[in-house]
Structure 1
């Protein structure tokens, strides 16, 4: 009998422990449920206020598109621009006008666009792009689109606001342009070389024939003035030639009397360091200027 009472007592104690555990569990669940219910109630009250302020925030973002930009990408772009500008300032001398002469059969618009943007980034004011067959000129829209794309990728939004001009038949014609700023890009072809000299000579001959000028007025300086009026750009101080051909291939023959030429193996897969090396080489060269 005593054994039976002992087992009954233990069974009752077990029921008490189970009851206490069940009550504790129910209390925790009830508190959690009340907490979620309270959070939902607060969220329901605050949601209209949040939605009311959203249009103002959206207007701010629309006024400042860069606010949505990736901060890491923006910082990387700013660092690159700062480095390139610093490189340009560190050079002993920087050309005002640089020519990119491509003496290769296979042309890469992306690589040439990268070179153009890098030249802009270091502080060069005029960049001329030339190939012997005039392919870049014939496809000037594609050339322009690639330059603008690379400006945006490498320099960011602000860097894409640079004027791009194309020469057509020896005259300046703005076929398409972005918001004007200092750097100017000109795409040249053989027509802008020897052909421009022929056109200037014909103009002088017509003026003599029409008795607007006399034959004694004809001089080198007169021809020089006519050619510079048609191009409206300074002479290139540096031309970087890409390819194995040792020739200027008709690149502005009248304007390169004092130009320094530096050769690189190819414009394809060219790097910024390749361009910087050419600029550094130009910065250390001594130009006698006819002396």
Structure 2
């Protein structure tokens, strides 16, 4: 039994090595992204662990079949970039890590909301561009306890976000296609997304990306939102139309945005060794706005998360290889 882990970051290496030693299993790490070309490096291995936002395509799974590799264990939650039908057709079983640290992402979402609510970006802009640093009436912020927070998606991450926002005194409303049976009085479900758009001062996204919700947040929705509203996206970039978001921010349709997930994320984004400069004009424009906080899909990135992502992913590979059914099987 031997496995290979692709797109391994420097912070993952100690956990990958420890897992291999603890289980007496050979595990090879590579920093390369998994593609139809680089999968040749997996020839002779029994399973692959991987973390990336670029697609796992039909052609890639055909190469899995040609190399006799039957197991792919993702080190993340989302499977929207995986051609699951092609995986099944080529006899590849897939697992993910549905709960590596919901608290990490929820805390990050709340941090973004606090940063934007208190207009810290405007203070930073004053200091960096004008080399001035003094009190300004334009920096007057809002307490979280004065605001209504709309949570879209009440899975593990969304529920932790609700607890944190509630702890700061916010009124929380939520929408989910599959609502929980009980809210324990912590928040109120609404019947449609329109209510979230129109009533929320802060909207925080904790939902998977699907074909149905691609560009859910577009010009029409931004027009419905309050002009003092803040959008937080620590979920998936495809949910938000980036060009429409930029227009909404520039025109004052909404007040701010915390963006940790971008449309069309490149492999370089998750390559800890990459030195490539940002060239995407939309990303550059967003990064220069004082009412935006932009981060490289790093809301998950805590020591607890990294450890759990590696450990659970490798455990799932071992379980599949031994012929058992893992709890995290994606079907």
Between Structure 1 and Structure 2, whose CA radius of gyration is higher? Answer: 1
Same fold (TM over 0.5): no
Normalising by the smaller structure, the TM-score range is under 0.3
Q: TM-score, length-normalised on structure 1?
A: 0.27
More helix as a share of residues:
1
Q: TM-score, length-normalised on structure 2?
A: 0.24
